[in-house]
Amino acid sequence: MKTIYLQTPYKGIYKYLEKSIIDAFKQHNVDILSVPYPYKRKHIQNLIKEHQSDFLFTLVGRGRKELTHLLKYIQIPKVGWFLEDPYFLNETGTLSQQFTITFTVESAAVEFYKSLKSNAAYYMPLGYDPAIYFPQPIEDTEYRSDICLVGYPYPNRISIMEELLKETNWDITVVGGRWASELNKWVKRKRLNCISKWIPPEKVALYYSNTKIILNPHRPFEALNTRGNTNITPISPNNRCFEAAACNTLQVCDYRPGIEMLFSNDNKIPTYKGISDGIDLINRYIVDETKRREKAENAFTTVKGQHTFYHRIKKICQLVQQYL
């Protein structure tokens, strides 16, 4: 099987995702021609002809308006993996109609895409790259903490962090842009390690591997793009759910029904439905090392066997094969 892969214009985490996905295609013996952005229609058409590509593949976040014009002239099956759903469905809905197959990281968005067109739509959560996310215990105290949260400071994340800083004595690490301004009255406290910038996944894995608990509150429903909002409530876990578990560290997430679809009861990730509930969970597991390690090990076993990019691309290839 041959595919032409259109790289995205996005920076940051997308460059890492693209490399991991390209590597996974190669692991499945897919002949992949990767084309850097920007690209022109005639050039892509010529490459497809020369390469004899069976299908076109690309990732879609927010935007990608350049694809709307390009894809209508591509005659082979076109496959898009939509990674920001359901937060910008008012933008991605129209674009999805140009694809033969739409894969979405949000299971609640599948019916939305199906309602727009007769082409196929499937739920396909992101996975993780085991070459990046794996247990890496080290002695460096920079990476050690009781609780670690990586991500943008959305209001729900700020609220639980402020409560943890007020009500507990645990050592806390937060990583991501703007955290210093959001927790400005706490940043000088010794027990708060505030890294107020984006860091690459290799470093995230070190923080994840050397904390007792990873706190993973999802992007809130209120963060949905309100212009043309489809009012689809997200129910699927984010990719940090897999990355955290891959570091063999217990994570605590806010509740989403989709987590139960991907982790069995025995390997269930602890979830909470309110700040006080979340803090109770953290307090319970942070002092119970045996239970904490047991839960972490169960989730670790699950993601290794089911949720790497190798597993995702295997399923994508199987589904795409039906349309060739």
Q: Give the pLDDT band (50/70/90) at residue 316.
A: very high
**Is 141-306 the same fold as 2-127+308-321?**
yes
Alpha helices in 52-183 (DSSP H): 65-71, 89-96, 110-116, 155-167, 179-182
**What pLDDT is recorded for position 53?**
98
Give the per-residue pLDDT at 1.
Answer: 96
> What is the structure's pLDDT at 289?
97
Q: Please tell me the least confidently modeled range out of 88-92, 173-177, 222-226, 237-241.
A: 222-226
Provide the mean pLDDT of the chain: 94
Segment 137-170, tens digit of pLDDT? 999 999 999 999 999 999 999 999 999 999 999 9
3-state secondary structure of 113: helix
In sequence order, what are the beta bridge partners of 213? 147, 250
Q: What are the tokens at 192?
A: 């708060």
Across 271-278, average pLDDT:
96
Residue indicated by tokens 């290799």: 202
Give the pLDDT band of residue 118 (cuts 50, 70, 90): low
Closest Cα partner for 151 from 183, 185, 198? 198
Q: Quick: pLDDT tens for 43-98.
A: 999 999 999 999 999 999 987 778 988 999 999 999 999 999 998 888 889 899 99
Per-residue pLDDT tens over the stretch 26-42: 999 999 999 999 999 99
Q: How far apart are CA 274 and CA 299, in angstroms?
A: 22
Q: Give the CATH architecture of domain 141-306.
A: 3-Layer(aba) Sandwich (3.40)
Can you give the residue ranges of every domain in the chain?
A: 2-127+308-321, 141-306
The more confidently predicted of residues 87 and 16 is 16
CATH 3.40.50.2000 fits 2-127+308-321, yes or no: yes
The answer to whether the pTM exceeds 0.85 is yes
Separation between Cα atoms, residue 300 and residue 322, nearest integer Å: 32
Nearest alpha carbon to residue 32 among 42, 40, 24: 24
Ranked by mean pLDDT, the top range of 2-16, 213-227, 260-274 is 2-16
Count of H-run helices and E-run strands, the chain: 13, 12
CB 100 within 8 A of CB 75: no
Residue 228's pLDDT band (cuts 50, 70, 90): very low
Q: Which among 280, 54, 247 has a CA at the least distance from the CA of 163?
A: 280
Whole-number pLDDT of residue 197: 96
DSSP state of 311: H
What pLDDT score was predicted for residue 266?
67
pLDDT at 226 over 80: no
Whether 286 shows a pLDDT value over 80: the answer reads yes
What is the per-residue pLDDT for 20?
98
pLDDT tens digits for range 193-225:
999 999 999 999 999 999 999 999 999 877 655
End-to-end CA distance of the chain: 10
